Amino acid sequence: MTAARPRVAVTLGDPAGIGPELIARLLADPETTAAADIVLISDEDELKVAGADSGAPIAFATEPADGLPLLHDNGSARPVPRFRRRESTAEGGRWSLANLRSALDMACRGEVDAILFAPLNKTSLHLAGMTENDELRWFEKVLGVEGFTSELNVLPGLWTARVTSHVSIGQVAEGVTRENVVSAGRLLHEVLLESSVDHPRIGVCALNPHAGEGGKFGRHEIEIIGPAVEDLAGEGIDVRGPFPSDTIFLRAKEFDGILTMYHDQGQIAMKLLGFDGGVTIAGGLPVPICTPAHGTAFDVVGEGVANTGSVRNAFDLAVRIGGRRRVG
């Protein structure tokens, strides 16, 4: 299947962080506008600040024009004339959510094929009234999604998905069920296919030390994870495990994706392997939503040192999956 030229909605993330300047620098690269039709969900004031911070003024159009991002002016949702910089605020959270909601509305109307958002600040989102643990659960609510969803983390050549995510360690074991392991493994397989991996190879982490040591350190591997791996293999998925989580990433070249049981089990490894290039994708939603796998970095806002590797990779992934969905 050949990908078509997708339409990608882009939001600048929390206005107090590095997101706006990252997007400005991304848009300054001619390859960005050559790869997709871009809709910027923002307003002119935010774009001016982003251009000043980055040293790369953002060229945009207010009507469709070849080679220029189209501004969807969301200024009517701006809560304050100017946002405070380098700190979490309710105003920044409200603006972030308002722009994301507009992007989701566009996706539901079929006006865009994928969404890229710059880093958010969860404290700001909660100050703004978001009651969900994270933006993925908020996306589920807004879109009315009831099936299994998961954040997936991506480095070039390696993906991870999680059975449980933003929950306390004390809640992890109860979330590792046979059904959830199968759902997460199936989702990882499907998204790998969408991202152009034709024959995904998946490795599965154990939950307990030494993969349970034959039941001595826990029976999740025997009673839950192992049977779930068999279920996935029965569906024709190339999957192996469970493997001890302290060694599986040493053999990462054997796999296209690794299924982890909880957040830090995969995140520590992925950030050690490639912090400056990581991407997070919200899996299981009707629209691909990608973001850099790092935070708002309040401490370096406006200093011109924020690395664009992750936002570039997130954009490229949104283009790739959005283009394939547009054809499919």
Q: Over the stretch 240-292, which tens digit does the pLDDT of each residue have?
A: 999 999 999 999 999 999 999 999 999 999 989 887 889 999 999 999 999 99
pLDDT-derived band at 322 (thresholds 50, 70, 90) equals very high
Bridge partner residues of 290 (DSSP): 116, 281
- pLDDT of 327 reads 60
262 and 291 both lie in a single domain? no
The answer to whether residues 20 and 125 touch, using CB atoms and an 8 Å cutoff, is no
pLDDT category at 180 given cuts 50, 70, 90 is very high
Bridge partners, residue 182, by sequence? none
Rounded Cα gap, residues 49 and 57, in angstroms: 9
Average pLDDT over residues 26-36: 96
What per-residue confidence (pLDDT) applies to 15? 98
27 and 76 housed in the same domain: yes
Q: Are residues 162 and 302 in the same domain?
A: no
Domain edge (last residue) among 278, 297, 313: 278
Q: What is the mean pLDDT of residues 313-324?
A: 94
**295 and 227 in a common domain:** no
**Burial status of residue 219 (CB atoms within 10 A of its CB: 0-12, 13-18, 19 or more):** middle
For residues 136 and 86, membership in a common domain is answered with yes
Output the CA torsion 264→268→270→273 (10° steps): -170
Mean pLDDT (the chain) is 95
Q: What is the rounded distance in angstroms from the CA atom of residue 55 to the CA atom of residue 140?
A: 36
Q: Where does a domain end: 262, 278, 294?
A: 278
Mean pLDDT calculated for residue range 294-305: 93
What is the rounded end-to-end Cα distance, in angstroms, of the chain? Answer: 8
The closest alpha carbon to 259, from 186, 190, 203, belongs to 203
Give this prediction's pTM. Answer: 0.92
Please indicate, yes or no, whether residues 214 and 92 belong to a single structural domain of this protein. Answer: no
pLDDT, position 328: 54
In contact, 10 and 106? CB cutoff 8 Å: no
Cβ-proximal residues to 136 (8 Å cutoff; 6+ apart), any chain: 149, 150, 151, 165, 282
The two counts, helices (H) then strands (E), for the chain are 12, 11
Mean pLDDT of 121-143: 96
Residues with Cβ within 8 Å of 213's Cβ and at least 6 positions away in sequence, in order, are none
CA 37 – CA 35 distance, rounded (Å): 7
- Domain of residue 200: give its range: 148-278
Residues 269 and 160 in one domain: yes
| pLDDT above 90 coverage of the chain, percent | 91
Contact by Cβ (8 Å): 161, 195? no
Report pLDDT for 2.
56
Q: Is the domain of 46 the same as that of 118? A: yes
Per residue in 40-84, pLDDT (tens digit) is 999 999 999 999 999 999 999 999 988 899 999 999 999 999 999
User: Cβ distance 185 to 204 under 8 Å?
Assistant: yes
How many domains does the chain contain in total? 2
Alpha helices (H) in 117-225, listed in sequence order:
122-127, 135-143, 169-175, 178-194, 220
Residues 172, 137 share a domain: no
Residues 47 and 17 in one domain: yes
- Residue 231 and residue 173 share a domain: yes
Please give the average per-residue pLDDT across 302-322, as a whole number: 94
Does 114 lie in the same domain as 12? Answer: yes
CATH code of the domain containing 255: 3.40.718.10
Q: Sign (positive/negative) of CA torsion 10, 16, 19, 25?
A: positive
